[in-house]
């Protein structure tokens, strides 16, 4: 029997009881359940890096805003489908203050998490052109977006951007757009899972090509402002959160409040439609919607039948947080910087023990320290590495589920790790290195 930091026999038994063939291929939720079971059986605590959940308390100003609204009785009243007026005002102000982007309030729509914004957008974008049926993912990406495509029976294509950073992105992207099949493009920035952050030059390429080929860009800003190398925290003062919105008028922004405001539980996010897209007319929409106008079809033909809008009280919670941020009374970025501090410490421990960071640069500079990072171990595939690490009290997910072509890669999420666990991480990785000498 092997000597590993977590009892080898118990771990092996729990894996076979779970029915999981390969830990390295299991989904996030399967790994979560397995690790819960092993923790219960052994009493050992894992370094849990599998789930991308906030590790911080919700912003108090939001909670208070929501409680006040509930006490006033909003729970019994249907909210406006496109969002309550004061919230729409603050969303529009937020993108002006923190992105320097001008958008009419009309296009600022609260959604049931950013997840619903994606769902609604995929649905409608697949119907704007008769002859175009494919979404293009600039990967790696958030696996649930692909799950939504499969659920809706929609086509997608994708490529891993690892080898196409900078100017190389232009030809690669254009090779897909030239097919005439693509109606929209999606990526997240900062990127889940790799934490690469596109440079302005790359966003410009995406924006220019979107305009040239009349393709809509969905920019997923779930980790808004969290490239901690820059200070995006002062409203109305540069630098601003970089965005494709500076380079095309054909865009939808998804701005989640789950991570940046630690508000995942209330399922409220924002979808921002550019003024141009809101008013765009697509004749093909008339087959499914009451109007050919994109914004109208989005609100009255998509958000309405999906959920009739978003939780009334959560809208007030979000309103309170946005207002405080816009007025300069809440530095929401400072509150989440801890993720970056932990990432730096954790990455150093991994590197010291022979591991490598997979997505390690943004063209000419080291990648930022943030919510996620990616790692590998020389000579091992990601699947084998995850299978092994589970015996060392470390859990994470394979990059393969994210559209990454780096089959050696693992995604680590920093959010749930406590500072006092760093010594465990160090000793476990050191034991791993000893048992797996690098040739």
Residues in contact with ligand PLP by the rule CB under 6 A? 52, 113-115, 142, 188, 192, 220, 222, 256, 258, 264, 269
Q: How far is the CB of 236 from ligand PLP (least distance, A)?
A: 25
CA 164, CA 316: separation in Å to the nearest integer? 42
CA-nearest of 256, 237, 241 to 203 is 241
Nearer to ligand PLP, 134 or 257 (CB): 257
Nearer to ligand PLP, 259 or 436 (CB): 259
Tell me phi and psi for residue 129, to 5 degrees.
Answer: -125, 140
Nearer to ligand PLP, 289 or 372 (CB): 372
Nearer to ligand PLP, 146 or 183 (CB): 146
Q: How far is the CB of 195 from ligand PLP (least distance, A)?
A: 11
Nearer to ligand PLP, 222 or 410 (CB): 222
Q: How far is the CB of 240 from ligand PLP (least distance, A)?
A: 20
Q: How far is the CB of 258 from ligand PLP (least distance, A)?
A: 3
Nearer to ligand PLP, 139 or 220 (CB): 220
Nearer to ligand PLP, 169 or 314 (CB): 314
Q: How far is the CB of 224 from ligand PLP (least distance, A)?
A: 11
Nearer to ligand PLP, 256 or 376 (CB): 256
Give the residue at shortest CB distance from ligand PLP: 113
Q: How far is the CB of 114 from ligand PLP (least distance, A)?
A: 3
Q: How far is the CB of 264 from ligand PLP (least distance, A)?
A: 5
Q: How far is the CB of 384 from ligand PLP (least distance, A)?
A: 26
């Amino acid at each position: 029997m092997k000597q590993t930091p977590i009892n080898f026999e118990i771990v092996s038994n729990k894996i076979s009881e779970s029915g999981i063939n390969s830990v390295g291929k299991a989904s996030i939720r399967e790994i979560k359940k397995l690790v819960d079971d092993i923790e219960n059986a052994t009493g050992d605590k894992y370094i849990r890096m599998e789930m991308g959940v906030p590790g911080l308390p919700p912003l108090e100003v939001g909670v208070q805003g929501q409680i006040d609204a509930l006490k006033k009785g909003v729970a019994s009243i249907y909210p406006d489908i496109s969002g309550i007026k004061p919230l729409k005002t603050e969303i529009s102000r937020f993108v002006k203050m923190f992105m320097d982007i001008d958008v009419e309030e009309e296009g600022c729509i609260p959604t049931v998490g950013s997840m619903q914004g994606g769902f609604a957008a995929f649905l409608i974008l697949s119907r704007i052109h008769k002859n175009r049926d494919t979404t293009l993912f600039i990967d790696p990406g958030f696996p649930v977006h692909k799950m939504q495509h499969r659920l809706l029976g929609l086509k997608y294509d994708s490529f891993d951007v690892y080898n196409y950073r900078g100017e190389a992105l232009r030809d690669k992207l254009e090779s897909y757009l030239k097919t005439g099949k693509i109606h929209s493009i999606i990526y997240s920035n900062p990127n889940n899972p790799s934490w690469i952050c596109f440079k302005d030059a790359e966003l410009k390429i995406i924006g220019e090509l979107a305009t040239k080929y009349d393709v809509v860009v969905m920019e997923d800003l779930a980790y808004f402002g969290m490239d901690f190398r820059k200070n995006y925290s002062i409203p109305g003062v540069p630098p601003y959160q970089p965005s494709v919105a500076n380079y095309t008028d054909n865009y939808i922004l998804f701005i989640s409040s789950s991570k940046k405001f630690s508000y995942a539980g209330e399922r409220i996010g924002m979808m921002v439609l550019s003024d141009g897209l809101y008013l765009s007319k697509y004749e093909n929409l008339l087959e499914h919607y009451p109007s050919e106008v994109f914004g109208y079809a989005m609100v009255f033909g998509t958000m309405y039948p999906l959920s009739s809008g978003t939780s009334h009280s959560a809208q007030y919670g979000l309103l309170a947080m946005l207002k405080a941020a816009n007025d300069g009374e809440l530095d929401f970025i400072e509150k989440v910087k801890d993720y970056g501090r932990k990432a730096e410490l954790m990455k150093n421990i991994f590197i010291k023990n022979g591991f490598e960071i997979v997505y390690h640069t943004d063209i000419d500079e080291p990648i930022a320290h943030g919510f996620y990072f990616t790692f590998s171990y020389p000579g091992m595939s990601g699947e084998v590495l995850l299978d092994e690490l589970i015996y060392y009290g470390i859990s994470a997910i394979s990059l393969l589920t994210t559209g990454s072509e780096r089959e050696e890669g693992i995604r680590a999420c920093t959010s749930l790790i406590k500072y006092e666990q760093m010594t465990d991480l160090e000793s476990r990785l050191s034991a791993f290195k000893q048992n797996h000498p690098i040739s």
